[in-house]
Amino acid sequence: MSSYTTVENVRALFRGIDLGNNTVINEPKIESWIAKQSSYIDSRLGGYYLLPFGNAATLEVLDLIASYKVAHMIKTVLEMTTQIADNVQMVQGNLDKKAEEMLDRMLPSKDGTKPIGPLIGAEVIVVSTSAFNRMSLQQRGSSFTKNGNNW
């Protein structure tokens, strides 16, 4: 798994706010959040797209999503610790929600319709539902049986 963004890209979302002297938010912490958010993105998209992603256009989109998610975490911490809270308002509203909406558009909906905004250049994994349907039909009865006081 690779990281989809960099500390510099995340800092760029904080226009004019110097995070360098912050005692709560430091570079190792940001790198840790980048790794966690990159793993989260892989877990969301990995069931539909073949990982790892290699297309430059795809990686640009994932960079933006990861940057939004990490910036949202930083913004939340800064607001909670009241450090530079007034300047944090310059950062866009709910970046996490925006990132989640972008991810949702890349995946098929719950009713199985195709994604609204699929990742260009990313290979889609073909999922066969026939095996799932056979399995669910075979297990229609109770999964547990009671024998005396034992389940």
Q: Mean pLDDT by 10-residue block, N- to C-terminus, for the chain (151 residues)?
A: 89 75 81 96 94 92 96 84 56 81 90 84 72 43 55 52
In a domain, 143, yes or no: no
- Residue-range definition of the domain harbouring residue 68: 7-136
Whether residue 149 lies inside any domain: the answer is no
Is 142 a domain residue?
Answer: no
Residue 89 lies in a domain: yes
Residues 69-83: b if buried by 16+ CB within 10 A, e if exposed: bbbbbbbebbeeeeb
11 occurs within a structural domain? yes
Q: Assign residue 16 a region: left if phi > 0, alpha if psi is -120 to 50, beta otherwise? A: left
In a domain, 73, yes or no: yes
User: Would you say residue 144 lies in a domain?
Assistant: no
Domain-embedded: residue 20: yes
CA torsion sign for 15, 86, 62, 97 is negative
* Total-model pTM: 0.75
Say if residue 33 is exposed, middle or buried (CB neighbours under 10 Å; 0-12, 13-18, 19+): buried
Per-residue pLDDT, 79: 76
Q: What is the pLDDT of residue 1?
A: 59
Q: How many domains does the chain have?
A: 1
Q: In angstroms, rounded to a whole number, what is the distance separating the alpha carbons of residues 147 and 90?
A: 64
Helices then strands, counting H and E runs in the chain, come out as 6, 0
